[in-house]
Amino acid sequence: MNLSTLVFGRRLANREYEDKKIGWIEAVPAMGLDGLGSSSYGPEATLTVLIPLGAFGLVYIGPVIGCIVALLAILYFSYRQTLAAYPTNGGAYVVAKENLGEYPSLLAAAALMIDYVLNVAVGDSAGVGALVSAIPSFHPISCRSAS
């Protein structure tokens, strides 16, 4: 037994793929990673925008966080409905193609691709920002030679 078999389990035979279905407990976190990842930067962005307001900005944090939590709840229930209707494969492309046609499904696929790229870009920029803020002596102007 190798490490990948130990971690992921044995490979399924071709005839077993049709019978393999996951429930909503496993599928919602797997499918919802996109939405969770996209909304995870919301509170930080909210605080960044509200910094100029000072203490008065704290009044607006509650409603903004409430909206983010409401969107996550909508996402959760939406994915549960999608899993009930499409237990074997319920991606945005498949759902849009079966319900709306080819062009809307291509639009959904393109939107997801753009979202994935932007999600990585935001994650990378947040990581770089965290690294740079952890270095107290780093300042771009101090790196210049004094003339």
Give pLDDT tens digits for 4-35.
Answer: 888 878 876 766 666 666 666 776 666 666 66
The residue among 145 and 123 whose pLDDT is bigger is: 123
- Nearest one of 94, 128, 137 to 112, comparing CA atoms: 94
Q: Are 93 and 109 in contact (CB under 8 A)?
A: yes
Please give the residue range of the domain that contains residue 45. Answer: 22-87
- pLDDT exceeds 70 at position 139: no
Q: What is the Cα–Cα distance from 122 to 26, expressed in whole angstroms?
A: 26
Comparing 146 with 112, which gets the higher pLDDT? 112
Question: What Å distances lie between residue 126 and 56, 111, 121, CA to CA?
Answer: 25, 22, 9
Residue 104: predicted pLDDT: 92
Cα Dmax for the chain: 74
- Is there a domain that residue 34 lies in? yes
Q: Is residue 93 part of a domain?
A: no
Does residue 36 lie in a domain region? yes
Whether the per-residue pLDDT at 96 is higher than 60: the answer is yes
- Indicate the number of domains in the chain: 1
Length of the chain: 147
Residues 35-88: tens digit of each pLDDT: 666 666 667 777 778 888 888 888 888 888 888 888 888 888 888 888 788 876
Confirm whether 69 is domain-assigned: yes
The mean-pLDDT minimum among 94-103, 105-114, 123-132, 138-147 falls in: 138-147
For 106-138, what is each residue's pLDDT tens digit? Answer: 998 898 888 888 878 877 887 787 788 767 665
Residue 80 lies in a domain: yes
127 within domain boundaries? no
Residues 6 or more apart whose Cβ sits within 8 Å of residue 22: 30
Helices (H), 40-137: 42-50, 58-85, 92-100, 102-134
Whether 75 is covered by a domain: the verdict is yes
78 is a domain residue: yes
